Amino acid sequence: MSGIKIAVAGTGYVSLSLAVLLAQHNQVMAVDIVPEKVELINRKKSPIWDEYIEKYLTEKELNLKATLDAKVAYSDSKFVVVATPTNVYPLGSVLN
Ligand SMILES: NC(=O)c1ccc[n+]([C@@H]2O[C@H](COP(=O)([O-])OP(=O)(O)OC[C@H]3O[C@@H](n4cnc5c(N)ncnc54)[C@H](O)[C@@H]3O)[C@@H](O)[C@H]2O)c1
């Protein structure tokens, strides 16, 4: 296998886009806390609506695995990309 081992935290709009792009040339582990999302990605289905993510998952040769096991993914990777929700506002949103 070629490329660098990279973990991506989250499988949302930012994180899954990055994971899919990076997985063209690297060994990527996408980590999420939602089992259904992990399962879908491992079946090459996108859990979010995004034309290019859907297209890349089905048409490109990707080195991408999704997992719930953050410890294994992060400890085994050279880089970790974090694109999870941020809780900068204690009540959830600046609008609250
Ligand atoms: N979407 C945008 O256009 C945009 C623009 C600028 C900044 N951001 C920032 O980027 C980050 C991600 O945004 P998004 O739109 O991709 O969010 P999203 O809600 O689409 O995805 C976030 C993902 O992270 C997962 N997650 C939550 N906690 C986790 C954890 N502990 N470990 C692993 N996965 C976890 C969620 O289940 C979800 O799949 C946020 O901080 C957001 O503020 C997003």
pLDDT values of the chain reduced to their tens digit, one per residue, 96 residues: 579 999 999 999 999 999 999 999 999 999 999 999 999 999 999 999 999 999 999 999 999 999 999 999 999 999 999 999 987 777 665 554
CA of 85 to the centre of ligand 1 (A): 4
Crossing angle of helices 13-22/51-59, nearest 10°? 30
Distance in Å from the first CA to the final CA of the chain: 47
β-strand partners of 5: 27
Nearest protein CA to atom 25 of ligand 1, as residue: 10
Answer yes or no: are the C-beta atoms of 68 and 35 closer than 8 Å.
Answer: yes
- Nearest by Cα to 84 from 20, 25, 19: 19
Nearest protein CA to atom 31 of ligand 1, as residue: 33
Q: Which residues line ligand 1 (CB under 6 A)?
A: 9-15, 31-34, 37, 83-86
Would you state the pLDDT for residue 92?
60
- β-strands 64-67, 79-82 pairing: unpaired
Answer yes or no: are the C-beta atoms of 9 and 68 closer than 8 Å.
Answer: no
- Nearest by Cα to 15 from 25, 1, 35, 29: 29
Question: Which residue matches tokens 């991506």?
Answer: 8
CA of 84 to the centre of ligand 1 (A): 3
Kindly give the number of the ligand 1 atom that is closest to the alpha carbon of 15: 16
